Amino acid sequence: MKILNLNVRGLANRVKWRGIRELVVAKKVEMILIQETKLQTVDALMCGLIWGDNDFEWKVVPAVNRAGGLLCVWRKDLFVLQNVMVGVGFMGLVGTWGIQTQVCAIVNVYSPCNLEEKRRLWAELVAWRHASPDTSWCVASDFHAVRCTEERKGVAVLPQGGAEMEEFNRFIDTMEVMDIPLVDRKFTWFRLNDNL
């Protein structure tokens, strides 16, 4: 299962479409999970130009006032969609992958920045996880949260930041998922003018 997870910070640019398509082809990606499309409308033509051929299915959660927006595109012969779960800040695809009969949930998250809204998102995902004990899970996301202070450089950790980190770590443990480590870089996001 090759899943590409991207926060694109806007998907209206055809140059970005081409860049994503090149990654999909070069890495033989089977599913892409895109956060922060900032688009209220996404259509099959756009998805085809991003994906590179017509062998795909897709689901979208539109942006609200050019904020947020989620897009999932996958090879239709590899993932058989059974159900879609949508909540504030997430879209979950439930189905079977390849010839396996094991049901899996693939969740695309673009979390709110507000701690109270994050808590609601985490609670909703935990409740869904506990209601589906026999389902394998993959959560790809932009959680707007860090697990420890070393994951953030150049930003002071506010007093509530410690509590948020504890709650975020508790959420990950409760979900029974593992945080996959980065390879060849320390941070998932940085400004181009920063020396990271």
Tens digits of residue pLDDT in 68-126: 999 999 999 999 999 999 998 999 999 999 887 889 999 999 998 888 999 999 999 99
Query: Looking at residue 122, what is its pLDDT?
Result: 93
More confident residue, 178 or 174: 174
Nearest to 98 by CA among 82, 81, 79: 79
Q: Decide if 108 contacts 72 (C-beta within 8 A).
A: yes
pTM to 2 decimal places: 0.85
> What is the Cα–Cα distance from 98 to 101, expressed in whole angstroms?
8
Q: In what order do the strands lie in the sheet with 3-7?
A: 3-7, 31-35, 70-75, 56-61
Q: 3-175 in CATH: which number?
A: 3.60.10.10
